Amino acid sequence: MHPFLDRRNFLGSASNALGSIALTSLLSRDRLLASGPSERFDPTEPIDPAKPYAPRKPHFEAKAKNVLVVFCAGAVSQLETWDYKPKLIEWDDRPLPGGPSVTFQGPAGNLARPQYTFRPRGESGKWVSDLIPHLAELTDQIAFVHSLTSKSNTHGPAENFLSTGFNLDGFPSLGAWVTYALGSLCDNLPAYVAIPDPRGVPQNGSNNWGPGFLPASFQGTTFSANDPVRHLKSKGVSDASDAATRRLLDKMQQRHLQEYPGDAQLAARIASYELAGRMQASVPQITDIDQEPAYVLKAYGADDTTNKDKAAFAKNCILARRLIESGVRFVQLFNGAYASAGKLNWDGHNDLKNQYDVHASILDQPVAALIKDLESRGLLKDTLVVWCTEFGRMPFFQKGAKGRDHNPDGFTCWMTGAGVRQGVSHGLTDELGVKAIEDIHPLYDFNATILHLLGLDHERLSVEHNGIRRRLTNVEGNVIESILS
Amino acid sequence: MRRIALYYRSFLDSAGRIGSASNPHVLRGCAKIGIPVLLWVVLSVVSTAQLPSEPRIDFVRDIQPIFEVHCFACHGPEKQKSGFRLDVKSRALQGGDHYGPTVDPNDPNASPLLDWVKNQNPQERMPPPGPANKPLSRSQIETLEAWFAAGAPWPDGVDKTTLIDPKSHWSFQPLASPNPLASIDTWIESKLLAQGMSLSPPALPMQWLRRVSLDLHGLPPSPELAAWFAHHHEEPEAYSRVVEQMLASPRYAERWAQHWLDVVRYADTHGFEVNTERPHAWHYRDYVIRALQNDTPFDQFIREQIAGDQLGQDTATGFLITASVLLPGQIGADEPSKRLARQDAIDEIVVNLSQSFLGLSIGCARCHDHKFDPISQEDYYAMQAFVAGVDYEDRLVDTPWAIENKERGERISDELRAIDRELLRLEPLARPNPQRFQIGTDLQSLQDLPVVLPKRPRLQPTINSERIAPTETRAVRFSILQTNRLEPCIDEFEIFNPLGENVALSSRGTQVTSSGDSVAPDRHELRLVNDGSYGNSRSWMSNQVGKGTLTFEFTDPVIVERLVWGRDRLGEFQDRLAIQYTIQLLGPDGQWTLVADDSDRNSDALDPAPQGSDSASNAAPNSPSTNPSSEDFAAFQTLQTRQKQLQNDRKTWQENQKAFAGRFRTPDAIHLLLRGDPEQPQQKVEPRIPGFFGQLGIDPSESEPKRRMAIADWIASPSNPLTPRVIANRIWQGHFGIGLVDTPNDFGIHGQPPSHPELLDWLAAELIANNWSLKSLHRAIVLSKTYRQSSQSNVKGLEIDADCRLLWRYPLRRLEAEAIRDSILAVSGQLNTAMFGRGYDLFAQRGGLSGFQPIEQFQGQGLRRMIYAHKVRREREAVFGAFDCPDAGQSTGLRRTSTTPIQALNLLNSVFTIEQSKAFAERLHREAGSRDQTGSRGQTGSRGESQADPTQLIKAAYQHSLCRDPTPDEIADALPIVQELGVETLCRALFNCNEFLFLP
């Protein structure tokens, strides 16, 4: 006979106090919060491992509850979009005096005028390009930062830098930090959703939504209007068997839990299956975009039969709105896919104008419609909308090409929505757009500002990792006060 | 940013604002010009009026409050912006990162601090503008000025913060001498006793067995072992016999290698956006497994990983270059991009060395002196100098295995040479076209033309062969009518008789004449065309563009069978190649007869590949005859097939002599880089260990491998206080889920102190005393009372020490991703225990537009342990990756355990779980069937499954997965479901249950 393990060898009385003690201990052990009692930070509510997505209080009163990031992969040219340089028209096809002979991809050619017509927009009269007519209509609502800089001129490290604050691989993404700090506002969807472009994943792939060394709970979950959440449903198992497995499992878990009363890890796993069950019900509903009324589909361009990529991206934009509406804390919407000589993303090295015509036709109407839709539903007062790209492009063409090389020294990203000052342009690049010259802001500052709007102090939101107190902003970062409302 | 700023400075100085606050030198320079005059006036008043009486300025009364109120927020106990702190005398006087000392003894009036507070630019003035900060008042500034003028008197003992002397930090002290009477339990029990606690009772034997198996192997115990132990656990040696058996098993090495690979962030790809494969990286993974299996002493393990090329462990140096790196094509073409990429690459090596072995964050000092530990920026760059000759590249290694592959490759090369000779002999006969240059060819002759005949191989710059019917002749004429460019050049022209002798050689008396030569003495000369030596520098060149003729006259008539020529036999040059030519023989009648030309050559674009490396398109045209039944044709085809196969083999064997173990070369000169910026190099730095730890006495001119040997020896020295402690702690952490020091990669001042310092030192000393044997440490730990106690909690324990740092129970913890997958496979009976070699793929597609598409169904190789998966950096495996699997971006000294709904969905619904549940069910039926054959119970069903007793199936399922029998209640729960829906429904639940997923 095998010795029969005594299953009754457990504590008979599981007191609630036990549970709570164990819970706090787990938290301090994993140092799940930047602000454990032993540290000199403002205490906030500890993360309950059974409810990693429970909403948590920010450091101070927040202007925004949710974030929607529109991430344009491949580096959008500031000179063709938001940063008007009339001087470039004058200097068209002349060499840049004292300019570099070689940039990222090779020899530099002559200066090249903006490839699109600019005109003044709205009441502010800010000049925005005809490349993006729908977004241009929103100019009065937007706070532009024209003087951003990146630490790398290479897509991979630079997307890392934009998304994680570090050039290197392996650091937590902005969305991971935000959901780690604040949890979620809904209990049937992931706290953080990353929606890849229908044309493919961005250059830096999952590192843009990775948890780095934060708990895996805070990794972005990827799905889009077309691609479902992986493993949402089992394949090749009958519904009856499915249900029976769940039933058996519940009993096993409860029995086992009785033997380890108050063990938060075990309780957390049980809770995670419950949330998974709710996601199984809610995700198919939320991704069923065709349920939207025709006028909505039309407004976003999701009904565009002539532009398949635009229609697919527009559906992702509608999905983004639905997620925000449902209380998903952080939504990251990608426009632009993998490196492809500029064919599938904004990396316009060789044939910028022709390629941007295509990319802008996908981006422009759907994103503009998304912002207007959020506004009309009253969601924009709680939602921060961020438009970003990893770096900008050079004012000159590459030698022998009709496109611009990478330029990390002065480029534009913008914000609108909750807590953002409307119709403001902050920072300056020089008159040819070579580099930022006034109110220069490394991307640290942009990320610090996003956290600030969420009520988070970028210097206090930190975790210990390998002997270093790590932050999204490394040891840098200043909030860009002048774009706050 | 800065680097491109340099380029544009000249152009933008008028418009741009260069050298703002980001350039301290500019700022200081300005300040120094402007301020002293003013100061002098103020100070002269102070010095004349106040000196005779008591010092007017009292530091504690007048100065400290200014610092406290206005400066401490950024330069105090919590923050030290720019490395400057004003709350501690020694550090305050030392100054910030880049501004020199606060007090200049030669010039009391000059201080960076005064420069900052008096700066005229409100954006740059200290304290910086903000709601909480106001600029210092005039009188405050005057007070400061007076204090500086008086020599900045700062009494000792008035600081409110005292800095701990880093030298006294616990981990930098020598190991405490071991207490021979102590054991692990001594230290644990004494601490518990001090808290009025004690160890928990021993775990049940089968619980311990499952625990130690999951811990040492990452797999549940085999049914055989479980059965044995169930019967023998009361015997005195039973526990240690189990442990010995487990430590001797390769499963131990596979499990514990993963812990080490976490730390060194091993992956099979380069990382960053392109994330290309490192096809030869796995040699290092295999090295680690072998080293653990052999119980390589840990000090030797260190030396081998740093300098294994010097120690007969060539592949071990893969350790140095485990990090992400940008490949040359991904780095910008501009020089600053290249310098930054190289710096990042070297930095990762330093980080790996210091973090993995020493538990020190030396990498923190890349931009500034370490904030906490006694490591200066110069110390950091001195560490770089040890490894500045390491490149992230494959290296031909000389492991026995690689040498064997090399020999195989050489044997193949010999055979290939023989085949080449044979193939040339079997070349198709030349079929020149005499009408080629005549106009008005009639239709009939066109149809006769060999349009359907296979063509001869396309012309090659290296070598071309003309096979003709054996013909007697006195002379050969080679007329070139066109080249691919420039004047034709002929390296060597050979004429073979049927005996295979080259009768063209001048040494045989053959005379050569030409239409005219371009002469470059001793390089291009007519005589060199038949001198028997190869290469561009031994060749003939015509003096006409695209044209030229060579005529060879023999002393006596010869029989010619084959002519061979090339432009450059050594393959260096591809231009000047004859692409239209004729070859004629002089008949006895004095007439020239055309025997070969280019008209039957394959005229596709010139293929620079050497002959023999045929592409599919010209494989057929190589055939020697139009008649497929001819002997030549058959022989040719056979040879060609063989040739292709051998070429592939040779490639494989050549590749298989490489490992991603680093290429070593003359080290880069290393300079201290201001703020870590490669564009701001300062003084040159030679290799040395951080000054705090003493000196190695290494000569700056020491060769590259010697440098690595030197740093390896220092790290691996038993007198290094960090190394043995750091590894002992990692081992402890592996067993208990948390180390005695819970910051395993940081033993510095900012890290956590050990919960049991004496125990840590005891373990470290034991390790050294046992010749650094890790297995001896495992043995001591898993057989201790501390390890063998129950994991049940109790009220007192939770109240006093809920974290379980005192170890009043064995801490319950979830299995890691790899252990979950491996355990499922072991239980389902599908685990493939094949070891080593290239990893199996987790993804069907590498990167690109659709990213890494996961493979869902695994067979064969894919059922090996997860450590043998081809590890794609940053891409977590689709099912188990969500269980906190490190992404190999940064070092993972300690895996976090998180719980997410995605884990639940993956483990419930993945194809993997469903398939393994079915496989597990089949196994249960199979085993029940074989039991039935002897026990004659049950029948075999129509689907080949036994109609086994469901209760027996349930019991077997529990035994396999949880190492115990189900309770009657559990049987009652499962029975109706198993009867109705099959046992796989239960199997799937078991794979998801906490009991299966936690170390008991």
SS3 (DSSP) at A120: strand
- Residue A3: pLDDT band (50, 70, 90) is very low
- Residue B942: pLDDT band (50, 70, 90) is very low
- Residue B986: pLDDT band (50, 70, 90) is very high
Residues of B in contact with A438 (CB under 8 A): 17
Report whether A169 contacts B890 (CB < 8 A). yes
Main-chain phi, psi angles of B946, to 5 degrees: -75, 145
Q: How far apart are CA B994 and CA B391, in angstroms?
A: 46
pLDDT over 70 (residue A35): no
**In terms of pLDDT, which residue wins out, B729 or A199?**
B729
Residues 252-311 of B with CB under 8 A from A: 265, 271-275
Residue B201 φ/ψ region, left for φ over 0, alpha for ψ in the -120 to 50 degree band, beta for the rest: beta
Our CA angle for B246, B250, B255, nearest 5°, is 80
- Residue A215: pLDDT band (50, 70, 90) is confident
pLDDT over 90 (residue B685): yes
Q: How far apart are CA B375 and CA B364, in angstroms?
A: 9
| pLDDT given for residue B130 in this prediction | 67
**Rounded to whole angstroms, what are the CA distances from B166 to B240, B350, B378?**
43, 21, 17
Domain locations in chain A as residue ranges: 34-228+291-483, 236-286
pLDDT over 90 (residue A264): no
> Which DSSP state fits B394?
-
Least confident of A328-342, B121-135, B286-300, B764-778: B121-135
Q: pLDDT averaged over chain A?
A: 86
| Total count of residues recorded for chain A | 485
pLDDT over 50 (residue B625): no
Our CA angle for A351, A353, A356, nearest 5°, is 100
SS3 (DSSP) at B45: helix
What is the DSSP annotation of B924-947? HHHHHHHHHHHH--S-B-TTS-B-
Q: How far apart are CA B518 and CA B509, in angstroms?
A: 23
| pLDDT given for residue B11 in this prediction | 32
| pLDDT given for residue B10 in this prediction | 30
Task: For tokens 């990286």, name the residue.
Answer: B281
Q: SS3 for B786-829, per residue?
A: HHHECCCCCHHHHHHCCCCCCCCCCCCEECCHHHHHHHHHHHHC
Residues 176-235 of B with CB under 8 A from A: 204-207, 226-227, 230, 233
Main-chain phi, psi angles of A301, to 5 degrees: 85, 15
Q: Do B896 and A265 touch (CB under 8 A)?
A: no
Report whether B484 contacts B577 (CB < 8 A). yes
The residue-averaged pLDDT of B545-550 equals 94
**In terms of pLDDT, which residue wins out, B281 or B433?**
B281
Q: How far apart are CA B512 and CA B524, in angstroms?
A: 14
Residues of B in contact with A264 (CB under 8 A): none
Query: pLDDT tens digits, residue range B745-788?
Result: 999 887 889 999 999 999 999 999 999 999 999 999 999 999 99
Say whether residue B794 is in contact with chain A using an 8 A CB cutoff.
Answer: yes
**According to the per-residue pLDDT averaged within each range, which of B676-680, B799-803, B991-995 is highest?**
B991-995
Q: Do A104 and B850 touch (CB under 8 A)?
A: no
pLDDT over 90 (residue B964): yes
- Residue B614: pLDDT band (50, 70, 90) is very low
Least confident of B243-252, B596-605, B617-626: B617-626
Q: How far apart are CA B212 and CA B731, in angstroms?
A: 14
Least confident of A324-333, A381-390, B813-822, B840-849: B840-849
Calculate how close chain A gets to B727, using CA atoms only, in Å: 15
Query: pLDDT tens digits, residue range A449-481?
Result: 999 999 999 999 988 777 778 899 998 999 999
The residue-averaged pLDDT of B24-43 equals 32
Calculate how close chain A gets to B664, using CA atoms only, in Å: 24
Say whether residue B959 is in contact with chain A using an 8 A CB cutoff.
Answer: yes
The residue-averaged pLDDT of B387-395 equals 95
**According to CATH, what is the number of the domain A34-228+291-483?**
3.40.720
Say whether residue A438 is in contact with chain B using an 8 A CB cutoff.
Answer: yes
| pLDDT given for residue B634 in this prediction | 78
Query: pLDDT tens digits, residue range B487-529?
Result: 999 999 999 988 878 999 999 999 999 999 998 888 899 999 9
Q: How far apart are CA B563 and CA B566, in angstroms?
A: 10
Residues 881-900 of B with CB under 8 A from A: 882-884, 887-893, 896-900
Nearest-10 crossing angle of helices A264-286, B901-909:
80
How many interchain CB pairs under 8 A, A with B? 369
| pLDDT given for residue B228 in this prediction | 95
Query: pLDDT tens digits, residue range A265-302?
Result: 788 788 889 888 988 989 999 999 999 999 999 999 99
| pLDDT given for residue B711 in this prediction | 96
Burial B958-991 (b: 16+ CB within 10 A, else e): bbbbbbbbbeeebbebbbebbeebbbbbbbbbbb
Q: Do A406 and B332 touch (CB under 8 A)?
A: yes
- Residue B482: pLDDT band (50, 70, 90) is very high
Which residues is B277 bridged to in the sheet?
B269
| pLDDT given for residue B54 in this prediction | 54
Residues of B in contact with A183 (CB under 8 A): none
| pLDDT given for residue B920 in this prediction | 97
Q: pLDDT averaged over chain B?
A: 84
Say whether residue B8 is in contact with chain A using an 8 A CB cutoff.
Answer: yes
Residues of B in contact with A24 (CB under 8 A): 802
| pLDDT given for residue B95 in this prediction | 82
Q: Do A435 and B16 touch (CB under 8 A)?
A: yes
Residues of B in contact with A88 (CB under 8 A): none
Strand segments, DSSP code E, in A266-382 are 330-335
Nearest CA in chain B to A405: B332
| pLDDT given for residue A111 in this prediction | 95
pLDDT over 60 (residue B859): yes
pTM over 0.80: no
Residues of A in contact with B208 (CB under 8 A): none
pLDDT over 70 (residue B456): yes
| pLDDT given for residue B933 in this prediction | 54
